[in-house]
Homo-oligomer: A and B are copies of this chain.
């Protein structure tokens, strides 16, 4: 082996990989979210990480996007998926005749984007989406997706606030100015309102044809933030254009459903500057922030879309969905020291000394595991002192010593590693004692 050429072990840059103690916490977060989704009657879906390029690029008319991992295998032109929404559209389209609508599905999975890796940006990362799909979805489902953030973040011990808008309000306003052809560009400008200076925003608006009065009106809308009544009073007289008023009525219904669902007042508000980047949103849009940490950016968002399957089947399929940016959220929690990674994967370490005490300890290990206690024999051939050191380093909270004396008297010495106290107990008492903790 000495003269064999070694290959430097390395991982692709920007690809998500945690150390095991971090992964333990990350999986715990995923499990908690999955339980909330199931409790809210969402069904799990798991689609392939790879799809035909034709499917994934349907939206862009087959154009090659630099950000996409695309390759050929045999005769197949295939891509790694870049989101979970296009695979959902493909799945719903393929199974349109056998699915029960409304179809409530959640999916947590890896997606791929060939971006230049940088802080907070990954090439392989997790997305976590919950969507409700149907042929005709009342606005109650928009409210359900918004409300869903509450139990999700409660499960993670985080306080969040969801900011809600409806794209029809701004679309209707631009229509009232005769600028309906510029709506897409103007939405992109509005989406930057938090990132650019007010002067920069104003000059972009002017480039797109707005005059000073119109810009004032727009800022009245964008600055409207608060309860539904508050924002309604501020903006209702700006225009009577039907799209605008429809957006306001839809928000009113969503607000009323949220109240019926007992969403707490302090966990949501309306903010008409929310538009979301994606142009497929057609009505309700929302973003979720950690309370008191709005500066960290949205950790989730979603909204209503009216034509999920348009590229694949000749049916109008609506949807409303929410997502949580779990890779980013985990990154924030880690950076802000909001997670304790010092949990041991072992509840009890068992120390033995020779063949006989090893067998005695292994029997105990099985018994404890069968009682739901994470017990592990410290099994390498090393001294008692070295094993105690190992237990300390691994922050194992309890140690059970299985020595010759213990074997003879059919007992075990239980040591609390934090208090350094120890007691000699028979098996039944050991299990009682550990279950107390």
Contacts and interface: CB of A to CB of B under 8 A. Distances in A.
Q: Give the interface residue-count category, chain A.
A: 35 or more
Contacts of A345: 38, 41-43, 104
Interface in A285-336: 307, 309-314
A394 B256 CA distance: 29
A15 interface: yes
A48 B114 contact: no
A249 interface: no
Contacts of A40: 369, 374, 376
A8 interface: yes
A215 interface: no
Interface in A349-388: 358-360, 362-363, 365-367, 369-370, 372, 374-377, 379-381
A74 B114 contact: yes
B51 A114 contact: no
A9 B366 contact: no
Contact of A71 (B71, B311, B379): B71
Given A12-B51, A15-B48, A380 B138 contact: yes
Interface string A3-41: 010111111100111111101101100010010001111
B17 A151 contact: no
A262 B363 CA distance: 6
A408 interface: no
Contacts of A257: 359, 362
The 5 lowest CB-CB distance pairs between A and B, nearest first, are A71-B71, A260-B359, A20-B43, A9-B93, A15-B48
